A = this chain, B = another copy of it.
């Protein structure tokens, strides 16, 4: 999503000392992970062994919701509140970690869980990198 960068560049006011590279990467990772988790929940649902994947589906659904909200919060810069940004990033990193761990348990058997686990790990890392840069 090259538009994430384009929207940051056209924001009319000063973005302060935010690390633009880390912010761009984190917004992109959040939207990607939200889609991947939505699709992985659905793929798990269509597996014959769905009964063994119910925890994975639930973790996917939580992660999809939390990533979507985090991506939206990070896309706003007007009236920035560091405490809210930090708390949302912490929740997102936690949800991505939980979903990655669950998907990794099924990654050798289900390719969609492998792709999803990687997407969750990228998003978890992007959230932690951005958190660290916020000081």
Are the CB atoms of A77 and B42 closer together than 8 Å? yes
Q: CB of A18 within 8 A of chain B?
A: no
Q: CB of A132 within 8 A of chain B?
A: no
Are the CB atoms of A39 and B115 closer together than 8 Å? no
- Complexed CA–CA distance, A78 and B59 (Å): 9
Q: CB of A7 within 8 A of chain B?
A: yes
Report the copy number of this chain in the oligomer. Answer: 4
A contact residues, total (Cβ < 8 Å): 67
Of B38, B50, B69, B98, the contact of A81 (CB 8 Å cutoff): B98
Given contacts A75-B35, A79-B55, contact A1 B1 (CB under 8 A): yes
Q: CB of A32 within 8 A of chain B?
A: yes
Residues of A at under 8 Å CB distance from B?
1, 3-4, 6-13, 27, 31-32, 34-36, 38-43, 45-48, 50-51, 54-59, 61-62, 64-66, 68-69, 71-73, 75-79, 81, 83-84, 87-88, 90-91, 94-95, 98, 110-112, 114-116, 119
